[in-house]
Amino acid sequence: MENLDVEMGFTVPRPLEGKDDIKAGEIPAGKQVSSMHKGPYQGMEPVYEAVTKWIQEKGYVPTGVAYEFYYNSPMEVPESELLTKIVFPLK
């Protein structure tokens, strides 16, 4: 968490320019491994550990970045129903 970089975004039909403090970016295409987590955000650590272990066992090398995609909100559903896709891009 010491070097945490938080980025937020959404899909757009075409590339956009950044403005002021807002910077444009993209998630590069390529190999990746992902897992869906259902439940509270505090319970995601075992998913990260399992995916990291799988990556090592299969001989892949992660890029060092992970993405989380939130499919719903704690304002909409109970914590037990939260869906989060965790994605690790691979080298």
What residues does each domain of the chain span? 32-89
Q: Can you give the pTM of this predicted structure? A: 0.82
Give which of 90, 88, 89 is closest to 59, Cα–Cα.
90
Angle (CA) 4-55-9 rounded to 5° is 40
Query: How far, in Å, CA of 26 to CA of 9, rounded?
Result: 9
- pLDDT, tens digit, for every residue of 59-90? 999 999 999 999 999 999 999 999 999 999 99
Torsion of CA 56, 60, 63, 64, to 10 degrees: 0
According to CATH, the superfamily of the domain at 32-89 is Regulatory factor, effector binding domain (3.20.80.10)
Question: Across-strand partners of 68?
Answer: 86
- pLDDT of 1 reads 62
Q: Where are the alpha helices (DSSP H) in the chain?
A: 45-57
- The per-residue pLDDT for range 9-34, each reduced to its tens digit, is 888 898 888 889 888 888 888 999 99
Q: What is the DSSP letter of 56?
A: H
Local structure of residue 17 (DSSP, 8 states)? -
